[in-house]
Amino acid sequence: MRYSFKIGSVWGIPIELHITFMLLMGAVFILFYPALYLFLLIVFLFVFVVFHELAHSVVARHYGIKVRKIVLYPIGGVSEIEEVPEKPSIEWRLAIAGPLMSFAVGAILLSLNQLISVKAPVETLAPSIATAGNLILDLAVLNFILGAFNLIPAFPMDGGRVFRALLAERMKFSDATKYAAYIGRLFGIAMVVVGVFYDFWLILIGVFIYIGASEEAEQTIVSTNLATVRVKDVMQTEAGAVQPETTLAEAVEVMFKARYHDALVEKEGIFQGVVSWDEIMKIKPEDRANLTVGQMPLKCIRVLQDESVLEAYKVMNREKIDLLPAFDREAPDKVVGVLTSEGMAKAYEKAKSLR
Ligand SMILES: [Zn+2]
């Protein structure tokens, strides 16, 4: 099931609303109608959360890291980036950019409020202006809270990332993640306990932090372990190949039989490239018997069998293919096996069991 929905995009980065955010907005709208002030406050706050996330994105892009999307949750946003920065010095810069943006927005709103209050004293002018003044002041405070809250040293908060980066400068990245996640979970539990006595909202936030810390640890550990699995451990050594003179109709049959959407192309045992299902599907069915594989654009992609599955995964993802030929360093013309989505699934299971 999908839990977040796209509402737009900025600089090509999709912005999505998480279902819990929408439920919160709905609840506030119903509970406080017709007093729309709180609803208005949340809508504006949400815009500033986007500012906060875009600050992370700008820094990520500066270091050449692709931002997949921004997802907005009730207690803040998450920028999903392509890969975790390998250098701790980049990670903490990326993490701190968001809270700094929130503090900056808070400061600007505070001075704006000062300006408006001077020009329009609350007591003497229309109530609507007084409300506007309050809105700006409340938003300023909320931005300060947003910035400070995100500095809590627990995943999935920015402070958790800063904390991990500091640890990672002294130990292995996966160990740093483990410890940071551990602290995050403790924080979550502590918040729930305090919440039971003081405030219901703390319980919700505590649960959110606990789940976030666990998920982050899981993902990082799996992808770190994925980097230790070699292509040759999970590749298939048997792979059907087609010839450049094979017709497209026949190639589709080969793909059906092999249950993979792409096929190897070989000429006298020498690798020529990969012909993809997507390319063949662009040709009308009635023309497929007259065209040959050799007339199609072939993808000359490859991976070495002793490279990591994580590297292979990046290539498969980028090229949108299901089948990646593997080679030996010594014989660069001969395919020794293929990595398929089935092999990737095997690798994933292996990575999960290594801990
Ligand atoms: Zn942030």
Measure CA 195 to chain center. 30
In the block, tokens 């709208």 appear at 29
What backbone torsions phi and psi does residue 316 show, to the nearest 5 degrees? -60, -40
Mean pLDDT of the region 304-324: 82
CA–chain centroid gap for 141, Å, is 29
| Amino acid occupying residue 208 | F
Helix (H) or strand (E) holding 271: strand 270-276
Q: Domains for the chain: give ranges and CATH numbers.
A: 4-226 (no CATH), 231-353 (3.10.580.10)
The secondary structure of residue 290, as a DSSP letter, is T
- How far is 323 from 314, CA to CA, in rounded Å? 12
CB atoms within 10 A of CB 171: 11
CB count, 10 Å around CB of 114? 14
pLDDT band for 36, please (50, 70, 90 cuts).
low
CA of 84 relative to ligand 1 center, distance in Å: 15
Residue 121 in this model has a pLDDT that exceeds 50: no
Ligand 1 centroid to 53 CA: how many Å?
6
> Which pLDDT belongs to residue 243?
86
* Alpha carbon of 79 to ligand 1 centroid (Å): 8
Longest Cα separation, the chain: 91
Q: How far is the CA of 146 from the centre of ligand 1 (A)?
A: 9
Nearest to 99 by CA among 38, 43, 162, 165: 162
Q: Is 342 annotated as catalytic?
A: no
Among 8-17, 41-50, 80-89, the least confident range:
80-89
CB atoms within 5 A of ion ligand 1 belong to 98, 150, 158
118 Cα to the center of ligand 1, angstroms? 33
Rounded to the nearest whole angstrom, what is the distance from the C-alpha of residue 227 to the centroid of ligand 1? Answer: 27
**Active-site pick, 16, 53, 216, 266:** 53
Please check the confidence at residue 118 and state whether its pLDDT lies above 70. Answer: no
Kindly report the pTM of this predicted structure. Answer: 0.63
